[in-house]
Structure 1
Amino acid sequence: MQHIGSKEIKPEIMDTQEEKLRKSLLIFAAAFMTLGVMLWLAIYWLMGLNFSSNVPLGYQAISVTSLVYYMRTRNFEVLRFVQLTLFLFAPFVMQWSIGSSITSSGVALWALLAPIGALVVSGWRDSIPWFVAYMVLTAVSGFFDFYLGTGATTGIPMNTIGVFFALNFAAMSSILYFLVRYFVIETEKIKTQLDQQHALLAEEQKKSERVLFNVLPSNIAERLKNNQGLIADGYADVTVMFADLVNFTQLTEQMSPEQMVGLLNTVFSGFDELSEKYGLEKIKTIGDAYMVVGGLSRERPDYVEDMANMAIEMLEFVARHPALVKRNLGIHIGIATGPVVAGVIGTKRFIYDLWGDTVNIASRLTDDAKAGHILTDKLTYNRLRFGYLFEPPNILNVKGKGEMTSYRMLGRVTHAVEPVVGSNVYRLPAADGTSPASA
């Protein structure tokens, strides 16, 4: 509890929609019963029928007191117990005070509101004891009527009894109907609200899933959705590509932050579309570098050719896009094929990443490639040499690995008339391994 000065403030108890409905239903029924009691008293008096009014007046006093107590304390359990007890016992006491079920015009029927009320304001389990009590009191009342009935002593005419039978049945039926009707209407409102909330929740879940599937490869995202623990996989053969922007650091000195981010977004969004086109997985961007891999899924077995085609189209995209041509932007690309280890690291802003010599080789090839060049390792070259044009091999000195053979890819064989970059085009190696002839 919080204290302000000498005053003590109780924390508000937030009711659920179901609890609010149950409370309103009970208050609704209590008001109906109180009104019914007053109306019946007035009708009896107008008809000149005098009998003890202690029971109905006592009922009203207790009912109003319990409602006032609830308004002050918000103790719904006490209100529910008091009202259901009044619903159950007051009609039977009223009947016994008049005489029998006949002379009272079946006023005990009002007691049916107790188990019905318990059913809608407490639940079906809590309504069972009230229903049993109603049946027991009905049986006791029937026993009294059969053995101890004294209906004639009241002096109530039979036509009056008949009228009040009709009134009691009509009133009780109306109360039950409107009580259940109100319950059904409010339940439907709650259901509609829940459906709307469920739809909003489903939409938010879709948004979250879209973000997850945009950040991670689809199969990895599915595994994370299924609450899999540590994700670490080994792949015997994949193709890794790095693409790095040329002179981008110098360009950033001439651009505002908005222009720089906008330029990167233009480039990488175009690359994203190409990775989708060829079924390759974008891994990440590192500054102005772009990393993509093929072969994580065997749905597309020609992932090496897909990677080569994407690399060629990346060069064409940069060379033809007006905003990039205006900035004289270029890229250099490195591609390597071989085994990698892949997995998800971190718990916040996690990332799916690759490790191994294949990744290191692709990165080094990118560093050694000139602007507009695509360099591949020997394994990638062997996979592509019958469908793509290459320059003669070049020897690189890779830190930690020593000398390594690299090949500059010029384009597809079908596009040999206009190679992507460079003026010296070489034919494919002959079957006997002799050097290719210059074009």
Structure 2
Amino acid sequence: MNFLERLRNAGINPGDSEELRLQKALLVLASGLVSIAAIGWLLIYWALGPKLSTTLPFVLQVLVATNLLIYAASGNFAVFRFSQLAIFLFFPFIAQWAMGNFVTASGVILWGLLAPVGALLCAGPRESVPWFVAYLFLTLLTGGFDFLLADYLIGMPAPVPLKASMAFFALNFATISSIVWLLMRFAILERQKALAALEDAHRLLGIEQDRSERLLLNILPQPVAQRLKDDDCTIADGFADVTVMFADIVSFTELASDMTPQQVFGMLNRVFSKFDEMAERLGLEKIKTIGDAYMVAGGLNTESNDPCAAIAQLALEMRDWLAGAGARGANPLRVRIGIGTGPVVAGVVGKKKFIYDLWGDTVNLASRITGEGAPGSIQCDAATYARLRDRFVFEPPHIVPIKGKGTVVVHRLAGRLGQQVGQALPTHPQRAKVPGGA
């Protein structure tokens, strides 16, 4: 910054901390107030004529102003602070010694209080101690000399009439009290502004933290997200009984070929957002989407008391909702769904763009029986069927070939007992006995 900018901005630099900015502003403000007061004292002394010399207030004004200009030119705040506080401390005592005693000088040494007060505000509590000790020492020293010389000074003509001396007492006390009050008020107001800005920053930080928390919970289950935040370690857990479901939109490639990219995205976003709402309502954990396929699991958390039944209910709701005309306008969508139940391994893969995923035969089986199903079918493995057969309607079992596992018995879920296929399902189904068992 050039000289005028430094003078106008109190020498504050863009890289200064808030505390340093406040210290610079306070000391420059104190210098300005002392300069204004020196002008007032200069005019008063000049009005009294030859009774008082105008040299002292004029010298004070010149010293303060010159030191301020040097600081504006150099930008060295440490030197400026020390030299200005030294002027505030020693000049009032020099002035009183030149004018006589406490009475004749009207307590002008009270101005020296600006030094420890200025050091407290512009340097800190610890750094202000030497300045306050020096002020007390000079005050006691001056008082001691006045006490010893009191008899000698009795009878000597006073340079200022008693009435004028009393008026100067009042002016000195009023002026120095006003300057100290203005400095303290300015410091408190600036700190309140800084505190308000800090609180606002904390509020914005809290909003961003909540947003990041929600984003993380959209990617990972809540317990897993908490573990990642607490400890940056590898997360891999085994679950003995988890129900996994895959849902695949039928003929999606053919459907997408007649649509623009924006239309394809809009369709998938509507479908998967609806699936998300259904899964969240039933306390299930969405794992991921793979192109036009949707993967969800139950039993990874405690939000569902019967995750296998909740998965079955979700499958029926997804199938029936997609079959409606509202899913894709005039052309309803169809879906293949595969459900498997058994042990899985769950964990977080990678360090960047990580994902929470599942592995194991249960996952592979659910994925493969999905691809073997007919459009609109919900195929379940034997373990899933065993848990649901007394509450849901199944078609007769059939055998499908599965790569790597040979032939597998698959049961096709048709609906819920006591309801027609496609009828709305309750969130918490009641158990019912299937006549004749399986």
Q: Distance in 2 between matches of 1:49 and 1:89?
A: 25
Query: 262, 267, 270: which is aligned to 1:263?
Result: 267
Answer yes or no: is the 8 Å Cα contact 1:118–1:127 preserved in 2: yes
Amino acid at match of 2:436: A
Q: Distance in 2 between matches of 1:168 and 1:58?
A: 18
1:113 positional shift? 1.0
Answer yes or no: is the 8 Å Cα contact 1:23–1:121 preserved in 2: yes
Is 1:430 the counterpart of 2:430? The answer is no
Name 1:405's counterpart in structure 2: 409
1:329 positional shift? 1.8
Give runs of aligned pairs for residues 238-253 of structure 1, distance below 5 A: 238-253=242-257
Amino acid at match of 2:371: D
Q: Distance in 2 between matches of 1:223 and 1:69?
A: 58
Answer yes or no: is the 8 Å Cα contact 1:98–1:154 preserved in 2: no
Amino acid at match of 1:94: A
Give runs of aligned pairs for residues 83-162 of structure 1, distance below 5 A: 83-149=84-150, 150=153, 152=156, 154-162=158-166
Answer yes or no: is the 8 Å Cα contact 2:284–2:303 preserved in 1: no
Name 2:288's counterpart in structure 1: 284
Q: Distance in 2 between matches of 1:90 and 1:158?
A: 24
Give runs of aligned pairs for residues 159-198 of structure 1, distance below 5 A: 159-198=163-202
Give runs of aligned pairs for residues 8-407 of structure 1, distance below 5 A: 13-51=14-52, 54-149=55-150, 150=153, 152=156, 154-324=158-328, 326-407=330-411
Q: Distance in 1 between matches of 2:410 and 2:265?
A: 33
C-alpha spacing 1:419/1:168, structure 2 compared with 1 (3 Å): closer
Answer yes or no: is the 8 Å Cα contact 2:326–2:332 preserved in 1: no
Amino acid at match of 1:156: V
Deviation digits for residues 14-46 of structure 1, max 9, x if unmatched?
A: 223332222111111001112212221221221
Deviation digits for residues 153-176 of structure 1, max 9, x if unmatched?
A: 543222221111001001011111
- Under a length normalisation based on structure 2, what TM-score does the superposition of the two structures give? 0.89
Give the gaps of 5 or more residues in structure 1.
Answer: 1-11, 421-426
Q: Distance in 1 between matches of 2:190 and 2:422?
A: 73
Name the SS for the 1:201 alignment partner: helix
Amino acid at match of 2:238: G
Amino acid at match of 1:65: T
Name the SS for the 1:265 alignment partner: helix
C-alpha spacing 1:74/1:129, structure 2 compared with 1 (3 Å): same
Q: Distance in 1 between matches of 2:260 and 2:98?
A: 93
Answer yes or no: is the 8 Å Cα contact 1:319–1:325 preserved in 2: no
Amino acid at match of 2:364: N
Answer yes or no: is the 8 Å Cα contact 1:332–1:372 preserved in 2: yes
Deviation digits for residues 27-71 of structure 1, max 9, x if unmatched?
A: 110011122122212212211354555544443333222211221
Deviation digits for residues 83-129 of structure 1, max 9, x if unmatched?
A: 11111111111111111122111101111111111111222222222
Amino acid at match of 1:386: D
Answer yes or no: is the 8 Å Cα contact 1:274–1:310 preserved in 2: yes
C-alpha spacing 1:87/1:248, structure 2 compared with 1 (3 Å): same
Q: Distance in 2 between matches of 1:414 and 1:387?
A: 9
Amino acid at match of 1:197: A
Identical aligned pairs, as a percentage?
48
Q: Give the number of equivalent residue pairs.
A: 414
Q: CA RMSD in A?
A: 2.0
1:283 positional shift? 0.8
1:306 positional shift? 0.5
1:314 positional shift? 0.3
Q: Distance in 2 between matches of 1:232 and 1:137?
A: 74
Answer yes or no: is the 8 Å Cα contact 1:280–1:292 preserved in 2: yes
Name the SS for the 2:102 alignment partner: coil
C-alpha spacing 1:49/1:178, structure 2 compared with 1 (3 Å): farther
Deviation digits for residues 360-411 of structure 1, max 9, x if unmatched?
A: 1110111111110001111111110100111222222222222222111111
Q: Distance in 1 between matches of 2:79 and 2:192?
A: 28
1:302 positional shift? 0.4
Answer yes or no: is the 8 Å Cα contact 2:249–2:333 preserved in 1: yes
Deviation digits for residues 161-220 of structure 1, max 9, x if unmatched?
A: 111100100101111111111122222222222222222221122111111111211222
Q: Which moved more, 1:91-100 or 1:13-22?
A: 13-22
Answer yes or no: is the 8 Å Cα contact 2:324–2:332 preserved in 1: no
Q: Distance in 1 between matches of 2:326 and 2:43?
A: 92
C-alpha spacing 1:418/1:208, structure 2 compared with 1 (3 Å): closer
Amino acid at match of 2:225: A
Q: Which moved more, 1:146-155 or 1:228-237?
A: 146-155
Deviation digits for residues 308-346 of structure 1, max 9, x if unmatched?
A: 000000001101142425234211000111111111122
Amino acid at match of 1:430: G
Q: Distance in 1 between matches of 2:435 and 2:349?
A: 43
Name the SS for the 1:403 alignment partner: strand
Q: Which moved more, 1:313-322 or 1:143-152?
A: 143-152
Q: Which moved more, 1:121-130 or 1:268-277?
A: 121-130
C-alpha spacing 1:307/1:101, structure 2 compared with 1 (3 Å): same
